[in-house]
Structures are given as C-alpha cells and as structure tokens.
A and B are shown apart, each in its own frame.
Chain A
C-alpha cells in the first residue's frame, strides 16, 4: 500500500507540476501581451 501511494505521489507530481508550470507561463505571456499592447499603436499589432 505504501509503495502504491509513493508511486501515485510521483506520478501526480509530474502531471501537476507540468500543468501548473505551463499554466503559469501561459498566464504570464497573456498578461505581458496585454500590458505591452496598451503601449503600442494599433498599426503595429498586425494580427488584429
């Protein structure tokens, strides 16, 4: 039972750390993009 719990812990750690890290990075990129887009004129944002 202890072995199963330990294995489950490391599997959960791998998945959670991956999801949370990518999520935090994605949120930072989106936030930074919104901040910068306020400083830059619309004609420089070609994707709009």
Chain B
C-alpha cells in the first residue's frame, strides 16, 4: 500500500514572514486597545485624536514605500538589476494602498473638524498630485511591454515622483492652509504626551511591521510572476517550433 502526499504549498511564506505576521496581529490588537480604549481624548483634538493613530502611521508607511521606490528606481537604472525593479514596483503598490487610506482617514478627520470631507488647500492639493503620480506609475507598469522598457520608464517616473514627497510633507509649513502642522514629530514642545504619544508610536511601529511583512510577500509575488511569465513564453516558443516542424 502506497501513500501519496500532496505537495505542501508554501507560496511566499518563510520563517521571517511568519514571525512578522504574528507580530503584526499582536501589534494590531495592542493598537486597538491603546488607541480606542486606554488613550484619553485630547484637550484640543478631542476624540478625533484616535483617527491620527491611523492617519499618521499610514502616511509614514506610504512615504517610506515611495522613498524605497525612488531608491530602487535609481539603483535599477544604475545596475539594471531585476531585484531593484521589482522591489521598487512592490513598494509603490503598497505605498498607493497606504496613501489612499491616509487620504480616507484624513477625510474622516476633516468631516469632524472642518465640517467637510475635502478642501482644496495646499496639503490636500499636493497630496492629490502625489497620489495620482504613483497611480500613474502603477498604470505604466501594467502596460504590456518588455521588462527592460517597463523597468526603465517606471524607474524614471519613480525618481521624478519622489520630488513631490518633501513638497507634500512641508506644504503645511510653506503655505497657509487648513491642515494642522506636525504633532508627533515636532522636535520642540511636542503637543502629544503620555499614553497618546505611546499610542501614536505604537501605531507607527505596528504599521512598519505590517509594511515589512507585505513588502516581502509582494516582492516574492512579483518575482514568481516574472518566472511564471518566462515559463509561459518558453512554452509558447516551443509550441510554435513544434507547429513549424510538423507543417
């Protein structure tokens, strides 16, 4: 009697990603407890400070992702390495997700504080431009072409787009708008203290762990996708040759 075992499908998991995954879940539970239960309402912001526990980590992760895209793009143009091209693209996709969530969270905060979901003020204008630029980056990558052309064109966009990050970040300081200035990363007399500050940094840490976990998995998916595409091309060429030899 023989027993056959189906191959275990591991996908893109590895011991490191499993550890990051467990840490992400534990961190999210802790964030819910601190952000929604333990942290008191703010003297000025009131209950809306709880939206900042989502808003600040998501925008920080999005900026980090876009910076990785920019650095990856530069190194790709220099080394022509597939690794950096795929890393840049993977980071951009995650960055767009988190930046979209940043905008949504900001709209929820704006509705409570300003009475409207959206105002065309400097920070939101530059944010919109940045968001559209990286959506454009992803659209360009989805256009069917050879990997070298795709990598080159998207790398140029990835480098050009990074210029808008400091403009977006500093828009609250450079132009007078409705958006409040930095509260967590203010170096002098920070407005947040105690449990509020801890909750904010906890949120940042948890989302950085989630970002690392997502980036590793997304990069491996991109890597597998390239390999699968190569196998598909080889099979198509072989089939065409076989057709030719029999006709």
Contact = CB atoms under 8 A, between A and B. Distances in A.
A1 interface: no
Given A22-B210, A26-B214, A48 B10 contact: yes
Query: At the interface, is chain B mostly helix, strand, loop or mixed?
Result: helix
A32 B112 CA distance: 38
Interface residues of B, number: 41
B12 A44 contact: no
Given A7-B47, A37-B224, A13 B12 contact: no
What's the interface size class on A, roughly?
A: 20 to 34
A37 B11 contact: yes
A10 B10 contact: no
A17 B101 contact: yes
Contact of A6 (B51, B112, B224): B112
Interface string B218-235: 101101110110010000
Query: At the interface, is chain A mostly helix, strand, loop or mixed?
Result: helix
Interface string A25-44: 11001101110111110001
B12 A29 contact: yes
Contacts of B162: none
B159 interface: no
A36 B221 contact: yes
Given A7-B46, A14-B104, A40 B97 contact: no
Contacts of B111: 10
Given A10-B51, A14-B51, A14-B55, A48 B221 contact: no
Pick the most buried of A4, A7, A29, A40: most chain B CB atoms within 10 A of its CB: A29
List of 5 A-B pairs having minimum Cβ-Cβ separation, nearest first: A33-B12, A36-B224, A34-B11, A33-B11, A10-B108
